[in-house]
Amino acid sequence: MGRVSLTAVLVAAAAFGINLTGNYYAAASPDLAKVIQDRRQFMKGNAQQMVTINNFLEKGQGTSEDVVNASETLAANSKKIGDMFPKGTGIDDGVAQTHAEMAIWGDLAGFKAAADNMELWP
């Protein structure tokens, strides 16, 4: 039997949802884990847009055009939120680390309405 390369072990571990800190996330749902990772990145992107807006309003950094661009990006992003929370991606589902409370799926319509409200703000 040939030697098993470290790379092969790491790839297999990744494929089966095992990370090097020993946490185990549902092997059957790698795509759901990706949904969670992607939406957390997406939310960090929203936070970055808010930093741009805040920098102009509070510190006079950047331009009013930056604020318009950031606001339009946030408004466009609000339309994506509704599809970013498929069932099975909450904190109790054990798919990946997430802060998404299970209450989201208890009132998905209300959650989506909140996302729609974000587009209207300010």
Residues at the contact surface with ligand HEM, assessed by CB under 6 A? 36, 39-40, 43-44, 46-47, 50, 74, 81, 98-100, 111, 114-115, 118
Q: Could you tell me the two tokens for 113?
A: 């309405």
In whole angstroms, the minimum distance from the beta carbon of 106 to ligand HEM comes to 13
Give the nearer residue to ligand HEM in terms of CB position, either 43 or 67: 43
Give the nearer residue to ligand HEM in terms of CB position, either 3 or 58: 58
DSSP assignments along 25-69, one per residue: --TT-HHHHHHHHHHHHHHHHHHHHHHHHHHHHHH--S-HHHHHH
